[in-house]
Amino acid sequence: MTAPKKLFIKTYGCQMNVYDSERMAEAMGSQGYVATDSPDDADMILLNTCHIREKAAEKVYSELGRYKGLKAAKPDLKIGVAGCVAQAEGEEIMRRQPMVDLVVGPQSYHRLPELTARAQAGEKALDTEFPEEDKFEHLASRPKAKRGPSAFLTVQEGCDKFCAFCVVPYTRGAEVSRPAARILSEARDLVERGVREITLLGQNVNAYHGHERGLGGLIRGLAAIDGLARIRFTTSHPNDMDDDLIAAHGDCEKLMPYLHLPVQAGSDRILKRMNRQHTRDDYFRLIDRLRAVRPDLHLSGDFIVGFPEETDEDFALTLDLIERVEYGSAFSFKYSPRPGTPAAERDQLTEAVKDDRLHRLQALLTRQQRALQDAMVGRVVTVLFEKPGRMTGQMVGKSEYLHAVHVQAEGVSAGDLRRVRIVESGPNSLRGELA
């Protein structure tokens, strides 16, 4: 009997890439490939890349360089690059790294089996088009293997906002939403395989229009699935948080009280230069409406410091916004130019200024995060247990607020939902006892 071929996938970036990597592995599974955790014994290496962070492309080239020895030792080894760096620099990747056998963009990975066959035949396979067909329609049915209690589910891709700092509209294309019926079918399948919490994914997920009532309607449809206990979604744009979705945070029990709602900056002048198409007051009013329907809502955000032309006064307004909103968690970054975006052509701030502002902003966010975590001590939360902890008899799970919670809990299994009293707050997690 022929041994199965082995596939190693390294995933960079966001949860959408995690989901895409799962679907790529499933597509290649239909061709006889099985997953391996090591590139050393792989018959195919696939890098699923992200173009958001600084020097993303150079990191991919550096990673490819590490595989030169493997390729030399195993001439039949196939190496591919997928995702957003592939979309942006497909031909350049082939030119700079001739050992790469195939390059495929994030909207074309349903064609991986065909591209792999071409690579096996000795061709260089490149596909970075935005295909007319829906890739999800052409992917193989998901295997029926048992799943962990949490899963990602992509419902929307692309973005039409064209923020001045962002490459997503160029690498993922225009906004496209999957039909609600297909999402509900995939969700039911996940639940049948053990999933109890689903996080809906999209570059601009609340712009979802595959349901007549938008994302709020889809969430209510998912909430009707027996066995699905929790629903989350990410990443959102303030301009697409419509009335029905706001209402869902108050009346849909399965929608968790945690929302990632990036604002990026607190200065109207910088928001305009970023082409965010909203003001700080728009953001404040939206937060007020959300907290009116769900007072215990925990917020997460994204912040960019050192954007071109940002003054000390602009930065002070960002700190003021953070003080007023109070975030449970956040992602913060120094601005770095992304080639082809409008902001990349503007005068840049010095790295010293960016470093200082990032340090000050992160110190404030850390204080807020710790204060909100400390305030959880004494409260009873519901924890979805996911895996064993490091200590014997310990289980680790997530609260409804997305806090990691460690509990000494003999007899508790992954997938169990239990009430837990929080007894201690640590730097990045909570400790609790079964209530």
CATH of the domain at 397: 2.40.50.140
| Together in a domain, 387 and 370 | no
3-state secondary structure of 9: strand
Q: What is the pLDDT of residue 272?
A: 98
Q: What is the pLDDT of residue 86?
A: 86
Q: For residue 76, what is the domain's CATH number?
A: 3.40.50.12160
Question: Is 231 contained in some domain?
Answer: yes
- Greatest alpha-carbon pair distance for the chain in Å reads 70
Question: Is 46 contained in some domain?
Answer: yes
User: Taking the complete model, does pTM exceed 0.85, yes or no?
Assistant: no
Instruction: Give the tokens for residue 33.
Output: 């490939």
Q: For residue 238, what is the domain's CATH number?
A: 3.80.30.20
- pLDDT tens for the chain, 435 residues long, are 567 899 999 998 778 888 889 889 988 988 889 999 999 999 999 999 887 666 777 888 899 999 999 999 998 999 999 988 888 888 889 889 999 999 998 888 888 889 999 999 999 989 887 666 666 676 666 666 778 999 999 999 889 999 999 988 888 888 999 999 999 999 999 999 999 999 999 999 999 999 999 999 999 999 999 999 999 999 999 999 999 999 999 999 999 999 999 999 999 999 999 999 999 999 999 999 999 999 999 999 999 999 999 999 999 999 999 999 999 999 999 999 988 899 999 999 999 999 999 999 999 999 999 999 999 999 999 999 999 988 888 999 999 999 999 999 888 999 999 999 999 999 889 999 999
Tell me which of 328, 349, 374 is where a domain ends: 374
What gap in Å lies between CA 245 and CA 213, rounded to an integer? Answer: 9
Question: Is 141 contained in some domain?
Answer: no
What gap in Å lies between CA 185 and CA 193, rounded to an integer? Answer: 13
Instruction: Find, among 107, 106, 101, 114, the residue nearest to 31 by Cα.
Output: 114
Question: Is 135 contained in some domain?
Answer: no
Q: What are phi and psi of 397, to 5 degrees?
A: -150, -170
| Together in a domain, 223 and 309 | yes
| Together in a domain, 156 and 256 | yes
Question: Is 137 contained in some domain?
Answer: no
Q: How many Å separate Cα 128 from the centre of its chain?
A: 21
Question: Is 13 contained in some domain?
Answer: yes
154 and 16 Cβ atoms separated by less than 8 Å:
yes
Q: Is 252 annotated as a binding residue?
A: no
Q: Is 14 annotated as a binding residue?
A: yes
Q: What are phi and psi of 165, to 5 degrees?
A: -100, -5
| Together in a domain, 114 and 188 | no
Q: What is the pLDDT of residue 83?
A: 87
- Position of tokens 């007072």? 295
Q: Where are the alpha helices (DSSP H) in 67-179?
A: 68-73, 84-96, 112-120, 135-138, 168-171
- pLDDT, one tens digit per residue, over 82-112 is 988 888 888 889 889 999 999 998 888 888 8
Amino acid present at 381: V
Question: Is 140 contained in some domain?
Answer: no
Instruction: Give the tokens for residue 427.
Output: 């730097």
Tell me which residue range forms the domain holding 11: 5-127
Q: What are phi and psi of 9, to 5 degrees?
A: -115, 125
What gap in Å lies between CA 326 and CA 277, rounded to an integer? Answer: 22
| Together in a domain, 66 and 158 | no
| Together in a domain, 164 and 120 | no
| Together in a domain, 219 and 347 | yes
Domains identified in the chain, total number: 3
Tell me which of 323, 355, 374 is where a domain ends: 374
Q: Is 50 annotated as a binding residue?
A: yes
| Together in a domain, 203 and 325 | yes
Q: What is the pLDDT of residue 127?
A: 86
Question: Is 139 contained in some domain?
Answer: no
Q: What is the pLDDT of residue 170?
A: 84
| Together in a domain, 300 and 399 | no
Q: What residues contact residue 135 under an 8 Å CB cut-off, 6+ apart?
A: 107, 108, 109, 110
Tell me which of 323, 352, 374 is where a domain ends: 374
Distances (CA, A) of 230 to 15, 149, 253, 400: 17, 10, 8, 8
| Together in a domain, 28 and 173 | no
| Together in a domain, 227 and 353 | yes
225 and 172 Cβ atoms separated by less than 8 Å:
no
Instruction: Give the tokens for residue 182.
Output: 């297909």
Tallying the residues shown for the chain, one arrives at 435
| Together in a domain, 223 and 271 | yes
219 and 249 Cβ atoms separated by less than 8 Å:
no
Instruction: Give the tokens for residue 346.
Output: 């503007």
